[in-house]
Chain A
Amino acid sequence: MSQRRIVYPYIPNSVPEIKAQMLKEVGARDIMDLYAEIPDELILKRRMDLPEPILDEYSLKRHLEEILDRNRNCDDHLNFLGAGCAQHHVPAVCDEISSRGEFVTAYVGEPYADHGKWQALFEYASLMGELLDMDVLSCPLYDGPSAAATSLRMASRTTGRNEVLVPGSASPDLMAVVRNYLGGIGEPQVSIRTIDFDPGSGLLDLDQLRSAISSNTAAVLIENPGYLGNIETRAEEIGEIARNAGAEFVVYTDPISLGVLAPPVHYGGTFACGDFQPLGMHIQCGGGQGGFIATHDDMRYVAEFKDLMFGITETVKEGEWGFGEVLFDRTSYGSREQGKEYTGTTTGLWAITAGVYLALMGPKGMEEIGRTILQKSQYAARQIGGIPGVRVASETPFFKEFVVNFDGTGKSVGEINAALLDRKIFGGKDISGEFPQLGQSALYCVTERITQDDIHTLVQALGECCS
């Protein structure tokens, strides 16, 4: 043994004496005796080729910081990127709770030692239920797109039909998830038919919807507010068309809008789904996403959820809350391939954090933040629309995001965003590739964090970049 033996702080039994003692205890002479069941030809006979380790904590910290310093961030830049991952203010209490070691390191413990986790997740569902004005939610899903995909498969099961109608204006990334999730062998398990939208207003083509809907339609999906920011002003009518045909009406919504916008159920939605990242999660390069699905209290729906559901009940001690698993055999944990789709580890910590957020905000906070976002985004759109050559489609109301068209400037979004970047501004998402019919357009996101001064900074910079 010429090499220095390292005792790893995270591996207590790497202390050579302890290791030797334990080996003796198990009757092994060499550690490889314990791998006797692995055939020799499958054993790796060489040291893995990995970088030499950075053993001490301080040097590792420096190393990580040097790497992260190569990123520019949305605190040192003015950020107008959103598209499903929006930079809202994260209340300090959300950070406090989401960094509690007990929550960060818990997993699948039962409702005694982990009572607090079960209660926090029950409260997430309860508070989201109030926001959505619906009674039933499961534990969270991976993100908004996975929630949309599962909503559509649930709809296929509740109706016994296998075609869904989706708007052409839907988020292409969301649709990529949905398309794969609804796919099948040869034929998709649930087929997808796209309904056109009007590029000017972003609204769904209702004539086409009426002619496409049939007795095979399981669901009509809309996004409200849409990926392109606009509010689907005829949502109620779309819901009627869907329900009159016996189809579910699935509404993908932004939960932070629901203090001012009606929740989907108020205009006929039978499924509400979306992503709760805006409710207290940092953007963290897309790592703060989390999905939700809500329905009415009807066993036809309840029995079709795929993820765990925590139900409130009582313990043997009178007046003491406890929790239990609801319809566990629904899930693939209970019934393997017989379960509904599949379940697994998703986004529990973010769901707890979303609950904290809603508890802090209360009804007034949600109403106020919705109004602030409406005002600031409308103001930004108006100011940006005043720049020569720049156009903002303004006849349709929108929430938080809106499409800015630069065709009149003779410049591409790519060129403009590069120039904005020089001024420490992240311009809106370039959607010219996703929606060629919209020309050189970008999707701008304005949250409550953006000040009037920030908007003026942007407008001045855009004026310079576009001229």
Chain B
Amino acid sequence: MGRDRETLLRKYHQARWDEEIICEMDVPGERGILVPEAEAGIQEAVGDGTSRIPENLRRKQPPALPEINQMRVNRHYMRLSQETLGTDVNIDISQGTCTMKYSPKIQEHVATRNPGMAEIHPLQDESTIQGILHVYYQFEQFLKEISGLDRFSFQPGGGAQGVFTNASMVRAYHASRGDHQRDEVITTMFSHPCDAATGATAGYKVVTLMPDDTGYPHVDAMKAAVSERTAGIFITNPEDTGLYNPQIKEFVDIAHGVGALCSYDQANANGLLGIARAKEAGFDLCHFNVHKTFSMPHACMGPAIGAVGVVDELKRYLPLPRVEFDGERYTLDYRGEPESIGRVRSFLGNAQGVLKAYAWVMQLGADGLREVAECSVLNNNYMLKKLSEVPGVVIQYSEEKRRLEQVRYSWGKLNRDTGVGTDDINRRIADYGIQHYWPSHHPWIVPEPFTLEPCESYSKDDIDEYVAVLRQISKEAYENPELVKSAPHNSAIHKVPAPSIDEPERIAVTWRQYVKKQAAKNSG
């Protein structure tokens, strides 16, 4: 046995390379890579190639990209990677609602190194992509069983795009019935922001139900919100508090009672695999974040997949193409039915992610998936108990109730006691080699929030170590608040005094914009 993880505080310091911005690394004349030239025979036949371009459409000045030798480019990005704290290198319980689970290396290696995945073109003849179409079809069968819904599409390139796809299908459903009076969707405050924003993008007014003392809205609030104008409800359950709304079926029934559709945001599904499904709760549509629940890596925010599922009645609205199987051959149906919403993303979506998720389910099977759910919920409740003993931590809402896979905690008491807030602690946590936690989606209903999700990938020891860090920071806050407020100290960089950049003169999202604004500042 190694060190006691309940008291372990690592003597950590992140790589701090003090690396230049790449545009500062320009050495005129250096080359990073040489590119193939057209053969002499080609040059002889067609000339320089550019003379056919009309004068006003030719590039006159080469782009002002930096000139850098290859080793330096590689070193630069290697250094930046060392200044990034991925799940591979830390106990990433921090990013609650994101399900930062282990992405098995075998999946990564096959998906990136096998030319049967990396070098296939989505428009190849169907007969030459039977392998990947098999993977699509099989993974669809898995998700049908996991959710109970009838058809899936893996075209959406992320969770929010998945929810937007569902909002689009809700819109298409009512339109195909000539029902144009429905212009509202309903969500809850602890459902994800995309449940509100994608409905708005699709053209709907958004009604947001607020939680009562239990942490989720009362059924009466739902009854009061629905009407013949309600097109659909978009709801997360368990919500971001980690509390499962036990009246979810009633919410769904109330919505159905006025002719609305019900879309289940299953970004928080990790604790539910094999336990409870969208179907039994009555949902018409759902989506899973394949990069959360099904182990596809998060990749600095994508590529990702929002897998969308629907009941049979809605399958004609799904994006195209759809993968079909006649018992012998897989085909891509590009025609579908006229009610299809068309497309939300090009080609077949992020196919490599479907392969990874397929591999993950194949390695776990039904028992393994259930073990995922059980251990994620067990881990969470274990962590909840441990953290409830840390001074300054408050468990908001229904303290007596069991949570599923995550909890939105509050440093409200600690903040009142010490003046140290969740943002301060969030910077300090990086000093112990732990990724910044996810405070909360906005607005912050829970004061000084932090949201943790110790999914099945983390051992009991990992959880103990994580709690030890928070216990230590709590102690620091009570004894030496300045230490926490001035953090980070062992990170790649020091504290940014004004991290919210809203003033036009401070806005520089590219190097050239920065250089111009500096010049303007210096001259005037």
For the complex, is A207 an interface residue (Cβ under 8 Å from B)?
Answer: no
Specify which of A106, A275, A451 is in contact with B86 (CB 8 Å cutoff): A106
| Segment of B38-46, B255-263, B409-417, B467-475 engaged in the interface with chain A | B38-46
Report A-chain residues with C-beta under 8 Å of the C-beta of B74: 93, 96-97
Alpha-carbon separation in the docked complex, A183 to B339 (Å): 13
Report B-chain residues with C-beta under 8 Å of the C-beta of A8: 364, 368, 371
For the complex, is A122 an interface residue (Cβ under 8 Å from B)?
Answer: yes
Report A-chain residues with C-beta under 8 Å of the C-beta of B504: 299, 302
Interface centre among A116, A282, A288, A335, by most chain B C-beta atoms within 10 angstroms, is A116
Are the CB atoms of A73 and B297 closer together than 8 Å? no
Report B-chain residues with C-beta under 8 Å of the C-beta of A71: 116-117, 120, 124, 128-132
Distance of A72 from chain B, by nearest CB (Å): 4
Alpha-carbon separation in the docked complex, A321 to B22 (Å): 12
Are the CB atoms of A363 and B62 closer together than 8 Å? yes
Are the CB atoms of A126 and B363 closer together than 8 Å? no
Alpha-carbon separation in the docked complex, A429 to B125 (Å): 10
Specify which of A14, A23, A180, A259 is in contact with B341 (CB 8 Å cutoff): A180
Are the CB atoms of B366 and A48 closer together than 8 Å? yes
Are the CB atoms of B130 and A70 closer together than 8 Å? yes
Are the CB atoms of B378 and A91 closer together than 8 Å? no
**A115-B83, A135-B510 known; A261 vs B59 contact (CB < 8 Å):** yes
Interface centre among B76, B120, B244, by most chain A C-beta atoms within 10 angstroms, is B120
Distance of A435 from chain B, by nearest CB (Å): 15
**A282-B119, A333-B441 known; A349 vs B299 contact (CB < 8 Å):** yes
What is the size category of the interface that chain A forms with chain B?
A: 35 or more
Alpha-carbon separation in the docked complex, A302 to B502 (Å): 11
For the complex, is A109 an interface residue (Cβ under 8 Å from B)?
Answer: yes
Report B-chain residues with C-beta under 8 Å of the C-beta of A418: 125
Alpha-carbon separation in the docked complex, A99 to B112 (Å): 8
Alpha-carbon separation in the docked complex, A123 to B509 (Å): 9
Alpha-carbon separation in the docked complex, A142 to B349 (Å): 10
**A106-B87, A285-B117, A366-B62 known; A44 vs B301 contact (CB < 8 Å):** no
0 or 1 for each of A113-130: is its CB under 8 Å from B? (1 = yes): 111110111110111111
Report B-chain residues with C-beta under 8 Å of the C-beta of A131: 63, 65
0 or 1 for each of A38-67: is its CB under 8 Å from B? (1 = yes): 110111100111111111010011011101
For the complex, is B496 an interface residue (Cβ under 8 Å from A)?
Answer: yes
For the complex, is A1 an interface residue (Cβ under 8 Å from B)?
Answer: no
Are the CB atoms of B38 and A379 closer together than 8 Å? yes
| Segment of B154-162, B217-225, B307-315, B476-484 engaged in the interface with chain A | B154-162
Closest to A420 in B: B125
Alpha-carbon separation in the docked complex, A371 to B38 (Å): 8
Distance of B389 from chain A, by nearest CB (Å): 12
Report A-chain residues with C-beta under 8 Å of the C-beta of B407: none
For the complex, is A233 an interface residue (Cβ under 8 Å from B)?
Answer: yes
Are the CB atoms of B88 and A38 closer together than 8 Å? no
Distance of A255 from chain B, by nearest CB (Å): 10
Report A-chain residues with C-beta under 8 Å of the C-beta of B430: 110, 112-113
Are the CB atoms of B121 and A81 closer together than 8 Å? yes
Distance of A376 from chain B, by nearest CB (Å): 5
Distance of B160 from chain A, by nearest CB (Å): 3
Are the CB atoms of A316 and B513 closer together than 8 Å? no
Are the CB atoms of A362 and B68 closer together than 8 Å? yes
0 or 1 for each of A129-155: is its CB under 8 Å from B? (1 = yes): 111010111111011111000000000
Alpha-carbon separation in the docked complex, A451 to B203 (Å): 50
Distance of B329 from chain A, by nearest CB (Å): 11
Closest to A189 in B: B203
Are the CB atoms of B510 and A136 closer together than 8 Å? yes
Report B-chain residues with C-beta under 8 Å of the C-beta of A282: 112, 118-119
**Residues in B27-68 with C-beta less than 8 Å from chain A:** 30-39, 41-43, 45-50, 52-54, 56-60, 62-68
Are the CB atoms of B378 and A375 closer together than 8 Å? no
Are the CB atoms of B182 and A363 closer together than 8 Å? no
For the complex, is A76 an interface residue (Cβ under 8 Å from B)?
Answer: yes
Are the CB atoms of A376 and B38 closer together than 8 Å? yes
Are the CB atoms of B42 and A379 closer together than 8 Å? yes
Distance of A136 from chain B, by nearest CB (Å): 6
For the complex, is B199 an interface residue (Cβ under 8 Å from A)?
Answer: yes
Are the CB atoms of A284 and B352 closer together than 8 Å? yes
Alpha-carbon separation in the docked complex, A290 to B157 (Å): 10
Are the CB atoms of A50 and B87 closer together than 8 Å? no
**Residues in B452-509 with C-beta less than 8 Å from chain A:** 456-460, 462, 486, 488, 491-502, 504, 506-509
Alpha-carbon separation in the docked complex, A344 to B198 (Å): 10
Report B-chain residues with C-beta under 8 Å of the C-beta of A375: 38, 42-43, 46-49
Are the CB atoms of A34 and B377 closer together than 8 Å? yes
0 or 1 for each of A233-271: is its CB under 8 Å from B? (1 = yes): 101100000000000000000000011111100110000
**Residues in B316-368 with C-beta less than 8 Å from chain A:** 320, 341-353, 355, 359, 361-368
| Segment of A193-201, A212-220, A322-330 engaged in the interface with chain B | A322-330
Alpha-carbon separation in the docked complex, A343 to B371 (Å): 32
For the complex, is A336 an interface residue (Cβ under 8 Å from B)?
Answer: yes
Specify which of A50, A145, A368 is in contact with B35 (CB 8 Å cutoff): A368
For the complex, is A283 an interface residue (Cβ under 8 Å from B)?
Answer: yes
Number of interface residues of B (CB under 8 A): 226
Distance of B494 from chain A, by nearest CB (Å): 4
Distance of A277 from chain B, by nearest CB (Å): 9
Are the CB atoms of B366 and A347 closer together than 8 Å? no
Distance of B251 from chain A, by nearest CB (Å): 12
For the complex, is A407 an interface residue (Cβ under 8 Å from B)?
Answer: no
For the complex, is B235 an interface residue (Cβ under 8 Å from A)?
Answer: no
Interface centre among A73, A83, A106, A302, by most chain B C-beta atoms within 10 angstroms, is A106
Alpha-carbon separation in the docked complex, A112 to B379 (Å): 27
**Residues in B506-524 with C-beta less than 8 Å from chain A:** 506-514, 516
For the complex, is B171 an interface residue (Cβ under 8 Å from A)?
Answer: yes
Report A-chain residues with C-beta under 8 Å of the C-beta of B135: 67
Alpha-carbon separation in the docked complex, A70 to B117 (Å): 11
Alpha-carbon separation in the docked complex, A106 to B81 (Å): 10
Distance of A192 from chain B, by nearest CB (Å): 12
Are the CB atoms of A12 and B60 closer together than 8 Å? no
For the complex, is A358 an interface residue (Cβ under 8 Å from B)?
Answer: yes
Closest to A232 in B: B57
Distance of A285 from chain B, by nearest CB (Å): 4
Are the CB atoms of B180 and A185 closer together than 8 Å? yes
Report B-chain residues with C-beta under 8 Å of the C-beta of A426: 121, 124-125, 128
Distance of B228 from chain A, by nearest CB (Å): 14
Are the CB atoms of B359 and A60 closer together than 8 Å? yes
Report A-chain residues with C-beta under 8 Å of the C-beta of B23: 123, 126-127, 130
Report A-chain residues with C-beta under 8 Å of the C-beta of B285: none
Are the CB atoms of B85 and A106 closer together than 8 Å? yes
0 or 1 for each of B273-292: is its CB under 8 Å from A? (1 = yes): 01111001100000001010
Are the CB atoms of B59 and A143 closer together than 8 Å? no
Report B-chain residues with C-beta under 8 Å of the C-beta of A311: 501, 506-509
Report B-chain residues with C-beta under 8 Å of the C-beta of A112: 427, 430, 436, 488, 491-493, 495
Interface centre among A33, A51, A67, A314, by most chain B C-beta atoms within 10 angstroms, is A67
Distance of B417 from chain A, by nearest CB (Å): 24
For the complex, is B183 an interface residue (Cβ under 8 Å from A)?
Answer: yes
Report A-chain residues with C-beta under 8 Å of the C-beta of B42: 375-376, 379, 452
Are the CB atoms of A119 and B19 closer together than 8 Å? yes
Give 11 pairs: A residue, B residue, CB < 8 Å, sorted on A. Answer: A42-B281, A54-B362, A104-B108, A105-B86, A108-B301, A114-B83, A142-B302, A183-B203, A235-B57, A345-B291, A345-B302
Other than A103-B86, A421-B125, give 20 A-B pairs with Cβ distance below 8 A.
Answer: A26-B384, A53-B364, A60-B363, A69-B131, A70-B131, A73-B116, A122-B21, A123-B22, A126-B21, A142-B158, A145-B345, A146-B345, A174-B346, A263-B63, A289-B347, A290-B303, A348-B299, A361-B35, A371-B38, A374-B53
The 4 closest A-B pairs by CB, nearest first: A344-B160, A286-B347, A53-B365, A68-B116
